[in-house]
Every structure is written in structure tokens, then in C-alpha cells.
Chain A
Amino acid sequence: MSRLQNLVPPFARRSAARDASEATVRPWYEIKETPDAWGLTAYLPGVAKDGLEITAEEGVITVRGRRQWKAPAGWTALYRESPESAYELALTHDNTIDVEKIHAELVDGVLRASLPKAEAIKPRKIAVS
């Protein structure tokens, strides 16, 4: 992951807010770059559409997801590996993302978001006259 971050300098991992009352886990994620956009893939198993929240502010894009499922009454946990806390992923960028055009979809616990680059940083070909 650190190698990826070196390749993609505008994104930096920011540690999730360490709030004792609401601990969060950082989901597994991946960022890919195309000439026009950054593609974010994050695994959020157990999160449904209405439990997902994406906010963009001041150079930080935050993805928060809570697990929908709660163990029904009468169920006893014998062994647990999955985290119960909500997912939180905060990605900082230097305002090179066109926040208005962010497009995201959540299918089977996988979030795929396209974060289009702002016009200003797209490579531009300048015709020589």
C-alpha cells in the first residue's frame, strides 16, 4: 500500500479519528489513476447503501459506512473475526478533484467511486502555431 501511495502522491492516508466513543476501522482500499480520474475501490462488507456516507470538504474525502446487520436475539457469538465498528476512510487531496462530479456505487459490499480530476490539472496539449 505504501508503494501505491508513493505512486499516487495527491492522496495521503490520514489516520481515522481516534475517538474513544466511536472507534472505526479503515477498510481495505485501492486507488488507481487514469488520465481523467482517480478510481477508488473500498471493501465495505456488510454495509448497505443507506449506511454509507461520503463527504467531501476542504481537501478531504471521507467515506463512512456502518454495518447493517446485528445478531438476532438468541444468537451467541462463538468466534468473531469481523470488526463490529464502523468503517472510516479519510483521503486527503490537494483540491485536484472535481468534487461536484464524484460518482460512487456500492455493490455487494464494494464501493467503487470515480473521483474526476479537476480540469486545471488534466494534461493539456498545446498546439504550436
Chain B
Amino acid sequence: MRSLIRYTNPRSSLLPSFGFSTPVPWTGLENDIDRWFESTLSDFLSPAWENRFPVDLYEDKEHTYVRADLPGVSRQDINVEMVNGYLTISATRKTKGPEGEESFALSRSVAIPEDVHADQVSAAYENGVLTVTLPKKEEAKPRKITVEVK
């Protein structure tokens, strides 16, 4: 984050002067933006990752899919719940530490944008990625009501 505050221009000394009284202020900006994204991304993938995991949301015509990166978790330690339009994935990662088994609790909730059949949700785990399949509900058909005017 500190790179955002930095306001010196690293390239200004290399620029030939074309009569500008001040160096172009945005010459270093691209680099700064790159760096900022890089640091954000590495923060995201750093140890803070331990109790939060990345989630992707996909859809096709009939289903909504949630994919979660959950490496190193046993299938029986993954719990998927659908409550009030939110899908909650909780998992426990058990690792062997120096003093026996250590376990980390992980949890994420994702708002599911469309109505789904909560009772027909299925999940599969492969290569450390969990895929949850949520069948969409048939959209309520518009009903035409004729009102008789007396």
C-alpha cells in the first residue's frame, strides 16, 4: 500500500526536458499501479489466506455454480449449507504440526443471485477445488388475471 502514497517520479530525471516547467506527473503511475496490484494480489495469497479462501461464481442456463479453492481438506470435513439465499461453505483443515494435529476452521458465505432448489444442491471435490452445483428454480411464470369490471 505504501507505493500508492509515494509521489516522487522515478523516471523524471531520465526525461529530456522539452520546455516543461514540471515533469509530467503521471510517468511513473503505470508502474505504481502495477505494483499496487501486485501487492494486493500477494497479500491475498499470503498467510492471511489461512482462514479465508477464494470463491468463484458461475452460471449457465439451468444452474449456478460455486467453486472454492480448498486445498488439503478431507471430504468429510467440508460442510455446505444453503440458508436464505446464502451458500455457506465451512471446512476444517487438519495438518500435522510439531505437537500433533492442528486444525484450522475455514468458512465463507456467498449470496446466490437467483432462486435455487436448496434441496437439490450437490457438491464435488477434486484436486483441492470444491464445486457446488445449485439448480435454478423455474422462474415463476407471469400470470394473467382478468378482472371483470361491473
Q: Are both chains from one complex?
A: yes
Chain A residues within 8 Å of B, Cβ to Cβ: 1, 25-28, 41, 43-48, 68-69, 71-72, 74-83, 107-110
For the complex formed, measure the closest distance between the CB of B63 and the CB atoms of chain A, giving whole angstroms: 9
B-side interface residues, number (CB < 8 Å): 28
Cβ of B82 under 8 Å from chain A:
no
A79: chain B residues at CB < 8 Å are: 55-57
- Give the contacts of B47-80 with A (CB-CB under 8 A): 47, 49, 54-61, 65, 67, 69-74
Q: Give Cα A3 to B54, complex, Å.
A: 25
Asked if B46 and A28 make an inter-chain contact with CB atoms under 8 angstroms apart, the answer reads yes
Interface residues of chain A: helix, strand, loop or mixed (majority): loop
Q: A75-B59, A77-B56 are in contact. Are A68 and B49 (CB under 8 A)?
A: no
Asked if A109 and B58 make an inter-chain contact with CB atoms under 8 angstroms apart, the answer reads no
| Between-chain CB contacts (< 8 Å), 17 pairs | A1-B46, A28-B46, A28-B49, A44-B128, A45-B127, A74-B61, A75-B58, A76-B59, A77-B57, A77-B58, A78-B57, A78-B58, A82-B56, A108-B125, A108-B128, A109-B70, A109-B129
Q: Which of B54, B61, B113, B125 contacts A78 (CB 8 A)?
A: B113
